Structure 1
């Protein structure tokens, strides 16, 4: 690959670094100074930890970079793979004596992939009416709306299957026979079990029916979203953090399209800010869940998964978040979003 895609100048900020990581599809950047000399490295994990500390995305990359990255010279290239395995890193820059990068050795994709099998069970919520996608969903259920050559639910299944997941539980209600008929016709190397709701029970309530089927950490996903991220890393983060639930969130920047007025207590204007913006961590609709959470559910009780999370928080259970970039989350909940997803996947 073009190594310039993973090299960034120290004058860039963390928001720009996130964009660069997404564009390069690698998990690390190397920071150089004005003379193109290596001064540090920055991983997606470093950025994630910064976000979880409420660090500003406008901060410079040099404020959180690793100032002592592992490097090699051309004479020691044969040591690269051994060092990466030992240190748990995915790239090592090859530098000259003046610390200018002449090449980057990446962990071979086939070696990296073998480390990513998690084999967790996956629950996919596919029972909703998809009202925001009418009139399409008056004819077919939302999970069967095609994105390219496959319906969205098949793409969701594939994204987990790539990490070794072989057991899927799909909650069905609206137009369930059509959805089940399509899935049963697939030539598949994984198992599907259907959770059939007699009435809508929400993204939390339908999990009640899985009490006898799930006894280990599992994923929950909406049927209309795709993440371009590392599910194995999400699972590892969840377990290391000892969360009862981990919510995968996406960092979104929202800009108010108007000038905003701040006033004093007497009604006079204190300040006027033109089109202010703010960053928010937005729920993507993907979760990692411990089986103990199922004990909070009752038979035939409607509950959103956000209400289930609130119950856990009231009991002082640890609920965490795994933030990903805005570009790593694709949602097809509305027509505009669906078209964006199609264009992304056509690249």
Structure 2
């Protein structure tokens, strides 16, 4: 299946990096987070990517135009560098479409801008380019196909705890509890769409607002509830958490043999 990745945002909440590079290129370990997202899909055999570029699109284009797998793999060099042999597993054969969808477009507009590249696909995948998870993709796809729905997204509990306050009309607090004790679920990205999704998006609309509500009215939207690992890189703190995980070799989003799922 083709994978659409939204790579055009400004990344204002991680400005320390995004003033010089687009958010998908912020490094986690030795590679940008975009590379980690693509590796996640690639391990399940999805190697045809469509990158919706925008802010500093040239930086992402330059990365792929000058990409060298030998810089990321163990290798043997002979004949003074004229021959290179990759050790271990061979790198995936990615097909990457780099499409400049404009700096100020929202997610819905970016998806519409690449419609011509997925309109022949019965089902395609999509995601933001700044979040990582070990969600079992084959199982999610299987459930989606069986449902007959037109769209699906991963629903997760907020990874950061906050306090929920309940109070009456006079402002008297009745209860305070942790969000981890609640049944709050949020959109975690990792979308699956049938090609009919484009019939529900009008010009200028954000993806998960008006179009998703139209899908809900028709009973066409499903959520895949997941309680395993999920982390979005919204802030420098999020980036540091992911960086520390990579340093420890703890990369759950890269499972050679996907682990049993934790699905509600």
TM-score > 0.5 by shorter chain: yes
Match of 1:85 in 2: none
Q: Alignment partner for residue 129 of structure 1, among 2, 5, 10?
A: 10
Q: Alignment partner for residue 241 of structure 1, among 125, 133, 147?
A: 147
Match of 1:334 in 2: 235
Match of 1:285 in 2: 189
Q: C-alpha separation between the residues in 1 aligned to 2:142 and 2:242?
A: 27
**Higher RCO (CA-CA < 8 Å; seq separation 6+):** 2
Question: How big is the alpha-carbon RMSD for the aligned residues of Structure 1 and Structure 2?
Answer: 2.2
> Is 1:304 matched with 2:206?
yes
Aligned partner of residue 305 in structure 1, secondary structure: coil
Q: Alignment partner for residue 256 of structure 1, among 163, 167, 188?
A: 163
Q: C-alpha separation between the residues in 1 aligned to 2:171 and 2:239?
A: 45
Shift of 1:268: 9.5
Is the contact between residue 129 and residue 174 of structure 1 (CA under 8 Å) also seen in structure 2?
Answer: yes
Cα deviation 1:24-77 (Å, max 9, x = unaligned): xxxxxxxxxxxxxxxxxxxxxxxxxxxxxxxxxxxxxxxxxxxxxxxxxxxxxx
Match of 1:174 in 2: 55
> Is 1:319 matched with 2:226?
no
Task: Tell me the matched-pair count.
Answer: 219
Q: C-alpha separation between the residues in 1 aligned to 2:62 and 2:197?
A: 31
Q: C-alpha separation between the residues in 1 aligned to 2:152 and 2:244?
A: 29
Any gaps of 5 or more consecutive residues in structure 2?
70-91, 251-264
Q: C-alpha separation between the residues in 2 aligned to 1:276 and 1:334?
A: 22
Match of 2:41 in 1: 160
Aligned partner of residue 96 in structure 2, secondary structure: strand
Shift of 1:125: 0.3
Q: C-alpha separation between the residues in 2 aligned to 1:155 and 1:209?
A: 24
Is the contact between residue 166 and residue 189 of structure 1 (CA under 8 Å) also seen in structure 2?
Answer: yes
Compared CA separation, residues 262 and 242, structure 1 to 2 (3 A): same
Aligned partner of residue 212 in structure 1, secondary structure: helix
Any gaps of 5 or more consecutive residues in structure 1?
1-119
Q: C-alpha separation between the residues in 2 aligned to 1:190 and 1:121?
A: 11
Q: C-alpha separation between the residues in 2 aligned to 1:319 and 1:268?
A: 37
> Is 1:184 matched with 2:65?
yes
> Max radius of gyration: which structure?
1
Aligned partner of residue 142 in structure 2, secondary structure: helix
Shift of 1:261: 6.0
Q: C-alpha separation between the residues in 2 aligned to 1:195 and 1:276?
A: 42
Cα deviation 1:276-334 (Å, max 9, x = unaligned): 54231111122111111123345xx32221122123224x1420000111x51011111
Shift of 1:233: 0.8
Is the contact between residue 108 and residue 207 of structure 2 (CA under 8 Å) also seen in structure 1?
Answer: yes
Compared CA separation, residues 268 and 280, structure 1 to 2 (3 A): closer
Is the contact between residue 250 and residue 282 of structure 1 (CA under 8 Å) also seen in structure 2?
Answer: yes
After the TM superposition, which segments of 4 or more aligned residues of structure 1 sit over 4 Å from their partners?
none
